[in-house]
Amino acid sequence: MAQQHTVEDILETRRQIVNEAISEDLPIDDPKKLYEASRYLLEAGGKRLRPTILLLAAEALTDVEPGSEPYREFPAVDGRPIDVLSAAVSIEIIQSFTLIHDDIMDDDDMRRGVPAVHREYDLSTAILAGDTLYSKAFENMLETGATSEQSVRALSELATTCTEICEGQSLDIEFESRPAITTEEYLEMVELKTAVLYAAAASIPAIILGYEDAFDSLHSYGLDIGRAFQIQDDLLDLTTPTKKLGKQRGSDLVENKQTLITVHAREQGVDVDSLVDTDSVETVTEAEIDEAVQILEEAGSIEFARQRAHELVESGKQHLEVLPDNEAHRLLSEIAEYLIEREY
């Protein structure tokens, strides 16, 4: 009987594997400052959720026991060995690139419990580090050993994903100056800003391993769980202690970011703009955030967001029915649940 793995086991082992691969695929070359800055956030931590999903999708498609095949030589439909780990690292590099630029645009001081890249180094170096990661992600995606046609498809998917992330970030910034948005507008924004990278992670193995029939279903799985992930992030911003969160609790509220919670609260008549008296994360107090959270709970907005996240996860899990009934399939389903059960 195949060994039963837990989500915690899978995340920890894949995190270590991806971390080692990052060191191999993104070495610190000259100029050292640039590559140190590029690796800075990657080395600061992270659960490696997206590359883990990519590796599990590859295992589920090929119906192999998780961890039983070397990720640098994974069996494709035509029998050729595919380096799915290079694709996984590519996805994680894109994630780090977006975080560096997000922190610059939001002028955030901290990320993953350490100073943001533009604080640790300087603004120019941070911009260059992000641009370097963006380029390296495409280089890595070319190292999978897939056919020329499959490589072009994978690169096209990655390029489209990056464009959509920028579109989502642009909407996020635009929404900050709008008095109100709809639930549909919020979900469109988080689909672009956050969920499309989960979709790419889940579906790119279908391209490079030759399982094109599964692409659409895996892409839809990623979109659903990615939107649920962002809703959970919005909830955690209000409910997780600052030290555990790695940044100031309630910063989204202070910075007037539109979330599903605040969208619902406005619809219930809550004056969201007056929930905190300061527009600076440096001066907001824990008492102010506690009071704001209580008002949002009384309006039913916290529970509304939690419920929508659960609905999206259930929808995402249904898209996995295209996969063989195996251990990796089960773990992809459990990771979907984990995304809305995590506490940071």
Cα 102–107–109 angle (5° rounding)?
Answer: 100
- Inside any domain, residue 86: yes
C-alpha–C-alpha distance, residues 316 and 12, integer Å:
23
SS3 category, 204: helix
Prediction pTM value? 0.95
Nearest to 169 by CA among 118, 218, 103: 103
CB of 89 closer than 8 Å to CB of 18: yes
C-alpha–C-alpha distance, residues 150 and 153, integer Å:
5
Range of the domain at 289: 7-341
DSSP code for 195: I
- Inside any domain, residue 15: yes
> What's CA 97's distance to the chain center, in Å?
12
- Inside any domain, residue 111: yes
Give the DSSP H/E element, type plus range, for residue 167.
helix 148-176
pLDDT of residue 1: 44
C-alpha–C-alpha distance, residues 195 and 184, integer Å:
15
pLDDT of residue 94: 98
* DSSP E strands, the chain: 74-75, 81-82, 110-111, 114-115
Tokens of 116: 């943001």
Dihedral of CA atoms 181, 186, 170, 196 in degrees, nearest 10, equals -170
By CB atoms closer than 10 A (0-12, 13-18, 19+), residue 287 is exposed
C-alpha–C-alpha distance, residues 84 and 75, integer Å:
10
Question: Around Cβ 81, how many Cβ atoms within 10 Å?
Answer: 14
Tokens of 123: 């603004």
Tokens of 330: 């089960």
Written as tens digits, the pLDDT of the chain (344 aa) is 456 788 899 999 999 999 999 999 999 999 999 999 999 999 998 899 999 999 999 999 999 999 899 999 999 999 999 999 999 999 999 999 999 999 999 888 888 878 999 999 999 999 999 999 999 999 999 999 999 999 999 999 999 999 999 999 999 999 988 988 999 999 999 999 999 999 999 999 999 999 999 999 999 999 999 999 999 999 999 999 888 876 779 988 988 889 999 999 999 999 999 999 887 888 889 999 999 999 999 999 999 999 999 999 999 999 999 999 999 999 999 999 999 999 87
User: What CATH number does residue 89 fall under?
Assistant: 1.10.600.10
Tokens of 186: 């919020």
C-alpha–C-alpha distance, residues 29 and 22, integer Å:
13
Give the DSSP H/E element, type plus range, for residue 327.
helix 327-341
Count structural domains, the chain: 1
- Inside any domain, residue 1: no
Nearest to 197 by CA among 289, 87, 116, 309: 87
- Inside any domain, residue 198: yes
Dihedral of CA atoms 162, 337, 67, 144 in degrees, nearest 10, equals -10
CB of 234 closer than 8 Å to CB of 261: yes
What number of residues does the chain have?
344
CB of 233 closer than 8 Å to CB of 240: no
- Inside any domain, residue 2: no
Question: Around Cβ 75, how many Cβ atoms within 10 Å?
Answer: 15
